Copies of this chain bind each other. A is one copy, B any other.
Amino acid sequence: MPLLTLTSDIGHQDFLVGAVKGQLLQANQQFSIVDITHKLSPFNYPQAAYVCRNAIKNFTPGTFHLVLVNLFDEKPEHMLLAEHNGHFIGCADNGLITMILEEVPQKVVALPLEKTQQKNTVYCTSIFAKAFNELQNGKKIEQVGDPSVSIHVKNPLKPLLGNNWIEGQIIFIDNFENVIVNITKDEFEEQRRGRSFKIVFKRDEVIDRISESYADVIEGEKLALFNSAGYLEIAINKGNAAGLLGLQGFSEKQQHSQYINSRMFYQTVRVYFD
């Protein structure tokens, strides 16, 4: 059965997640739909890109991925269907695709929307569903949409580099209030060049080693490690690091997630190399 992952900013209370699944299964009842999340931050592209990128890469090539976020930022005349390293990704032409992939997709086509149709989530899903089903039935991506499209490009949020430092942005705070910074292990090591380092955040908090695991330090102690996605994570063993960083606590974060997320976006962690 063809796998189809579903990622959105719809939340859990709406009829829309159900309607979207219904539309996809009407196109092809064989689709095996896998929920990734329906709680993407709609107005925080770096966070949405982080979540999508790191979920998608754990699936096998040939998987379909539908990413329904910020579909109506602009008045859309088309949706996008991209093929990249064997994955097929459907999303709006709002720049998110280049942030997810961190490059321009190998192939991308426009899926035109009918001029007379109202542009809503269910209608757009029906367009994606039809395209995915055509791919599943053996069509090439160039036969499914318009390859002449010039897509909207947004640059991925990358750390700033100095000669003896690298500065990352906090892109995600997880369920345990661990703080994820947009510095990957590869970027870190490349910039470090074997030197010793100090990870500095807040005003005067310093971590000077990378741990393997939370339990490498005693309970309540702060640590840094690289998470499952390979990103720098600042954590406290059995504690909530976001609080330590001076970010608002978990409860407030849930309440005002949109506002906080946009604030976090400007918060940074800097690593100095000796």
Kindly identify, within residues 1 to 54 of chain A, every residue whose CB is under 8 Å from any CB belonging to chain B. Answer: 1, 3, 5, 7, 9-23, 25-26, 29, 33-40, 42-43, 50-54
B23, B34, B76, B251: which contacts A255 (Cβ < 8 A)?
B251
CB 8 Å contact bits of A52-87 with B (1 = contact, 0 = none): 111111111001000000001111100000000000
User: Does residue A212 face the partner (Cβ distance < 8 Å to B)?
Assistant: yes
For chain A, the count of residues having a C-beta within 8 Å of the partner chain is 76
Q: CA separation between A119 and B187, bound complex, in Å?
A: 20
Name the CB-closest residue of B to A42.
B176
Complex alpha-carbon distance, A63 and B118, angstroms: 27
Inter-subunit contact A34/B18 (CB<8 Å):
yes
Q: Is the CB of A226 within 8 A of B118?
A: yes
Whether the pair B12, A39 counts as a contact (CB closer than 8 A) is yes
Contact A55 B25 (CB under 8 A): no
Cα(A130)–Cα(B72), bound, Å = 41
What is the minimal beta-carbon distance from A228 to any residue of chain B, in angstroms?
4
Judging by beta carbons under 8 Å apart, are B58 and A23 in contact?
A: yes
Contact of A213 among B39, B119, B212 (CB under 8 A): B119
User: A229: CB under 8 A from chain B?
Assistant: yes
With known contacts A13-B37, A43-B238, A74-B215, A18–B58 Cβ distance under 8 A: yes
Closest CB in chain B relative to A96 CB, distance in Å: 15
Query: In this assembly, does A174 line the interface, its C-beta being within 8 Å of a C-beta of chain B?
Result: yes
Cβ-defined contact, A15 with B50, below 8 A? yes
Tell me whether A136 is interfacial, beta carbon within 8 Å. Answer: no
Q: How far is the CB of A229 from chain B (nearest CB, A)?
A: 6
Bound-state CA distance A12–B7 (Å) is 11
| Interface: A101 (CB within 8 A) | no
Q: How far is the CB of A274 from chain B (nearest CB, A)?
A: 24
- Whether B19 pairs with A55 at a CB distance below 8 angstroms is yes
Does A123 sit within 8 A of B, measured CB to CB?
A: yes
Question: CA of A19 to CA of B34 in the docked complex: distance in angstroms?
Answer: 11
Asked if A98 lies at the interface with its beta carbon under 8 angstroms from chain B, I say: no
Given A20-B58, A22-B57, A250-B256, output 8 extra A-B contacts at Cβ < 8 Å: A11-B174, A11-B175, A15-B36, A15-B54, A16-B174, A21-B34, A22-B56, A74-B215
| Cross-chain pairs A/B with CB under 8 angstroms, 11 sampled | A13-B51, A15-B36, A17-B55, A18-B36, A19-B57, A20-B58, A26-B60, A75-B216, A119-B213, A120-B228, A251-B255
A: residues with CB less than 8 A from B are 1, 3, 5, 7, 9-23, 25-26, 29, 33-40, 42-43, 50-60, 63, 72-76, 118-123, 172, 174-176, 212-216, 225-229, 238, 250-251, 254-256, 258
